[in-house]
Every structure is written in C-alpha cells, then in structure tokens.
Structure 1
Amino acid sequence: MRLRPFALSVVAVSALLLSGCAGAGSDAPSPDASGAADLCAAVADSGAASEAATVTGEVGEPSKLVFDAPLEVADRQVTVVEEGDGDKVEAGDFVSYALTAFNPETGEEIATAGYEPGEMLPAQISADSPLGETFGCSPVGTRVVAAFPKTDDTDAEIYVLDLLSVVPTAAWGEPQEPVAGMPKVTLADDGAPTVTVPEGDLPTETTLATLKEGDGYEVQSGDAVLIQYWGVRWSNGESFDSTWAKGGVPYAQRTTSFVPGFQKALEGYPVGSQVLVVIPPVDGYGEGEINTTDLVGETLIFVVDILGAQHIPAQ
C-alpha cells in the first residue's frame, strides 16, 4: 500500500522532505487575500466515498473508521466530520496534523501517525499541497474524512485527518539567562536574531547555551527536524547563511546531515528550544586558512530554533 505525501511518517524520510515543508531559500506561499481564497477553494467536494464512513474517537486522538468494504473511490473527496473552533489556517502556515489511514478495499487500518510527539514534522500548507487539498482554510481542531482515487503512484486510500495546530516559525520556549562569555543575541519582533561576537580568545571546543527551553519532543540522532537558523563568522561578525535572510521559511533536514557542531545544537534538545552554539573548525568545516569563499578554518556561531521533529528509527 503506497500512501500519499501527507502520510509520510510511515514511509521514507527522503519523501517526507517533499511533503510541503519549504527548504532554506524558498519562498512561502503568500498569505494575502487571493492566497487565502485559493486555499479555501482547494478542498475537494464531499462525495459518496467520504460520506460512507462512520468515524469514532475524539479529535486529537487516534480514530476508527467503519465502512462497507470494498469502498469505491472514483475521485478526490473530503467530508468535514467536525469543524474546529480555532483560528483558520492561512496559505504559508506551518501546521501540525495527525492521521489514520485505511485500505478502502478491505477496511483494514494501515497506519496511525501524528498523535504522539515526534511522529510527524509540521508541514507548510498551500492551495497546491496535499494538506491544502484536504483542509483548505479550515480552523484548527477540524477533523475530516478524505478519500483519494488510485493513481499511477499511489493506491486508493481513505483517511481520517485532524488539524491540530499552527506551528510558530520561531522558538517559543521559556527564555533562559544569558551565559557569560557567549555571543550576545537579540531578537527582532518576528524572532530573527542578531549576533554580537564577544571579545576574547577563540573557543577550542564546541560550546552551547540554551536561549529558550522548549517543552516538546526531545530530538534524537538521525531525526528529521524543522528549524530556523542564523549563522555568523566569528572572525568578522558577519552572517554567512540564514533562513531568516531567505524569507524566514523554516528548513527541514535530518540531524546527521549537518556538521558535528551543528548536530550538537539539535540532538538532546526539546522542540520549541532556541540554542546558541559556537563551533570551532574541528567540529565545523576543518582547519585551514580563513578565506571568503568557504568556511574552512572558521569558528562559527549559530542560533538555532527547533520548531518540529520526527523520529527516524535507525536502520
């Protein structure tokens, strides 16, 4: 059974990163009036297949779906089972959601994901994303039954999906006291950091400080994470890379894809945290003469906001 992109916690993580999470440097869908109208209109009409199933269970908890199998799914259909009472989502929002998937041929439950911490990354919603086609501009707390016909790439499927929350694009954890000797960090209203390099000797080991302490799932090695970051060269105090400077769109990737020092600012920290890390060359891009074309020999400073995580079991 091949599941659709929004069910990606039960398939390969490489596909997960295509689920609507924008990467660094990409632009978020515009949340203007026309974008909102497009998002609201993106949802499929209700139909015989999506209306044929009876849902049991509370929103925010795993559900059961009962229907007479086999269930014929002729086209894309969405039926609202319960409309939420939260704010309506907008194009470009990152949302957390959960689902239970069923086989329309047999009625068998295939998978449940997103109801426990660390099971699903937040995803960006737009009119042309799988989530936009399913929830549109629904309010948070909405539950739907969605039926999808067979395609060349996927089997016919039927889901119960819950829209759980809109995820902030900056860390929301409890602010912590500054650590003496570490770079100074100030935050703009949108959460974008400014870093001031301290005077003194270069650190010889990776040094970390928690700026905001989250209360979510604790990131493990190899997990996929959704982050914002701001990177600065110690040598001149200038930023060399930043999601904030590229539209403020969070970036999704596995922890093990980063240099060792950056990994240390992710693994072991709970979602919602903001972490300050100073990375010497040994944990960065290696020793050598500092230059303007790459980061060899450079001591690096990063401010990292951990917005979401999905556990990826070791192979």
Structure 2
Amino acid sequence: MRTLLARRASERTSRTRRLGTVAVAAAIVAVGLTGCSAAGSGDCVQPGAASELIPSSGTATASSWKFPKPLHADSLQKSTLTSGKGAEIVDGQPVILDVGIFNGLTGKAVVTAAQGGMISASTSGSQLPGLQKALLCSTVGSRIAVTGTVTQVLGKEAQLNIPASSTVVAVATVKKAFLARADGTPRPGQPGMPTVVLAPNGQPGIKIPSHDAPKTLSTAILKQGSGETVKKGDYTVVNYTAVAWNSPDTVASSSWQNGSADIWPATDGSVPTTVTNKLIGEKVGTQLIVVTPGSNATAYVIDILGIAK
C-alpha cells in the first residue's frame, strides 16, 4: 500500500494518488478497481450488534471516538450513521473519503486519517477488504461505521500495534465518487494506431502494430465522454495501461494492475508530461490512446474518471 495525503497547490506532491500502510499517520488507501456493475444484495455488508453501537458524531481526525468499550466484533459489520442523498456506490468506483480508524478496546485512533483520501469500493479488495466492501450499497454523502477484526476490516498486511484479532472501528464519510471506467460513446479506431480490446471490467488490452512507431506524438479518442472538461491545472483521476512499442507483449505500467486509480499529473515522473497534457480539453468519461514517438515509443490507453479538486 502507498501513502496518500490530500493536499492542494504546492503540497500536491502527496496529493490523493495512492495510500500507504495502515500504520502511517494521516493515511487511507486507494485500492483495487474491479468492475462497474452495481452490487447485489448479497454483496452488502449488514449491520450487527457492534456496528449499531457506534454514534455518528465526531471527525475523521479525532484522537478518539466515543462508543461502549470494550467493543467486540468477530464478523464484518456496517451500519449507516447518516444517509447521503447521492448515488449508490458501485463495484470498482473510486471515492473520496474522510475516515478514521479506532481501537475497539480503548476508542483511541490507530490511524490519524488524512481527509480527502481516495479508495475503491470492491467486493474483492485485498488491501482494505472490509472497508472496500462496506462502501458498496452506500450512497455518496453517507457516513458509515464498519466494525470487525483488524484483518477483516484492514487486511492481513495491516501493520498496527494491536493484535490482528482485535476489534477496530472505521468511521468513514463518502465525500465524492468518480466513474469506475470510461463511459463515453465508442469511436472508430484510427489507421496505424494500436488496437484496444476491453475486458469485462473495462481494463484495456493493447495490440501494437508491426510497423514502426509514429515519428510524432499521436492521439486518438476511443470513447467520447460528455462530463466535465479537464482544464490546465486540474488533477485528474484516471485508469491507464501503457505498453512499449518495442516490447509489445509486456505491460510497461498500469494502474489497473497496480490495483488503484491514479491522479495525474504524476509527481514522480512516471508518466511524461506530454502524455498528461493530452487530457487538457478532454471530458470526463473519455477514453483515449496516446502514443509517444522515438526509440522509447509507448502507447497509453487512458480512462478519464473524474477531476479531483
């Protein structure tokens, strides 16, 4: 897991891109994107005796949360503390959260959560499995309480100074949700460009042509979105896959494979600015392919999922 802090302006170097180990202060997690179908009733985490004891008052960055102690939960439970008026969250959607995680024995915070972090709702998340699953069937604007053991809520890799079998409480408020995949109108393929085939969950496969790479930066729209327009200076939520022209059978990099949506422009230099600049003027919901020229020519297929402001 990777550290993710939501900051603006000069603090954007740690902007809501990815999230870190649960032990890291001011951390929550941006994780697995797995599809875009609405969750069935069997995927909804149900309330239980422990989650029903959690009150709604408090803030994500509080040093403690008031509930009857010691609290014990040996199964994953979720109660809706306040119901939001937004749309229901579906499998694979990245969302912006305020979240705090508290020790069920003492009520004290085990993570001082960053506000405005990003995480993906998922029935099969592996990094924060309980919290990811609990987001399903919730609505944007809702505050939820999730209880269970450390392993059930935060996963086997969680590094906390309490036993994995201890009860924890996660209190999360869903601030905003983005698309799970580009939902624009398909456009015809362009001659000379790589062929793109989509998996059922929207993940692209890229077939590089046998001819030489383009001599100039090339772009084509694969799906035309109709959402908000990306402007210069925006931080854009994307999913992408990149394949090098000279290594067509190997994925060079991919947010899909990394298990988390990304936010561009990237601050670590992993994606060329010539590529990220091509998002400017495009609309949310668009899928495009960008091919960089030269000896290191690379094809990027990019889904524009939203704008993180």
Residue 234 of structure 1: how far off its partner (Å): 2.2
Structure 1, 302-311 or 73-82: larger mean CA deviation: 73-82
1:123 matches 2:119:
yes
User: Which residue in 1 is equivalent to 2:226?
Assistant: 215
Supply the distance in 1 between the matched residues of 2:49 and 2:307 (Cα, whole angstroms). Answer: 27
User: Which residue in 1 is equivalent to 2:188?
Assistant: 177
1:255 matches 2:265:
yes
User: Which residue in 1 is equivalent to 2:57?
Assistant: 50
1:161-186 CA deviation, whole Å, 9 max, x = no partner? 45665731x32111112223322222
Please tell me whether the aligned partners of residues 33 and 256 of structure 2 are also in contact (alpha carbons under 8 angstroms): no
Please tell me whether the aligned partners of residues 42 and 132 of structure 1 are also in contact (alpha carbons under 8 angstroms): no
User: Which residue in 2 is equivalent to 1:267?
Assistant: 280
The alignment partner of 2:6 has SS state of helix
Distance verdict in 2 for CA 1:310–1:39, change over 3 Å:
farther
The match for 1:192 among 203, 206, 220 is 203
1:89-238 pair list within 5 angstroms? 93-97=92-96, 123-125=119-121, 132=131, 136-141=135-140, 143-144=142-143, 161-162=173-174, 165=177, 167-168=179-180, 170-198=181-209, 200-238=211-249
Please tell me whether the aligned partners of residues 89 and 138 of structure 1 are also in contact (alpha carbons under 8 angstroms): yes
- Any gaps of 5 or more consecutive residues in structure 2? 20-27, 69-78, 99-114, 146-170
User: Which residue in 2 is equivalent to 1:279?
Assistant: 292
Superposed CA RMSD in Å reads: 4.9
Supply the distance in 2 between the matched residues of 1:41 and 1:121 (Cα, whole angstroms). Answer: 27
Partner amino acid, structure 2, of 1:143: S
1:32-90 CA deviation, whole Å, 9 max, x = no partner? 99x96879679955556729xxxxxxxxxxxxxxxxxxxx9753798623366965766
TM-score by length of 2: 0.54
User: Which residue in 1 is equivalent to 2:163?
Assistant: none
Residue 197 of structure 1: how far off its partner (Å): 3.0
1:195-242 CA deviation, whole Å, 9 max, x = no partner? 333354532210101101222333344543332222223235323324
Residue 307 of structure 1: how far off its partner (Å): 2.0
Distance verdict in 2 for CA 1:162–1:231, change over 3 Å:
closer
Residue 275 of structure 1: how far off its partner (Å): 0.9
Supply the distance in 2 between the matched residues of 1:95 and 1:269 (Cα, whole angstroms). Answer: 20
Residue 271 of structure 1: how far off its partner (Å): 2.1
Paired residues in the alignment total 231
User: Which residue in 2 is equivalent to 1:75?
Assistant: 66
The alignment partner of 1:140 has SS state of coil
The alignment partner of 1:8 has SS state of coil
Residue 306 of structure 1: how far off its partner (Å): 2.0
Supply the distance in 2 between the matched residues of 1:217 and 1:74 (Cα, whole angstroms). Answer: 38
Supply the distance in 1 between the matched residues of 2:8 and 2:173 (Cα, whole angstroms). Answer: 15
- Any gaps of 5 or more consecutive residues in structure 1? 52-71, 100-113, 115-119, 147-158, 282-296
User: Which residue in 2 is equivalent to 1:284?
Assistant: none
Distance verdict in 2 for CA 1:251–1:83, change over 3 Å:
closer
Supply the distance in 2 between the matched residues of 1:94 and 1:262 (Cα, whole angstroms). Answer: 24
Residue 264 of structure 1: how far off its partner (Å): 3.3
Distance verdict in 2 for CA 1:76–1:266, change over 3 Å:
farther
Please tell me whether the aligned partners of residues 265 and 275 of structure 1 are also in contact (alpha carbons under 8 angstroms): no
Residue 304 of structure 1: how far off its partner (Å): 1.4
Partner amino acid, structure 2, of 1:278: V
Partner amino acid, structure 2, of 1:268: G
The alignment partner of 2:57 has SS state of helix
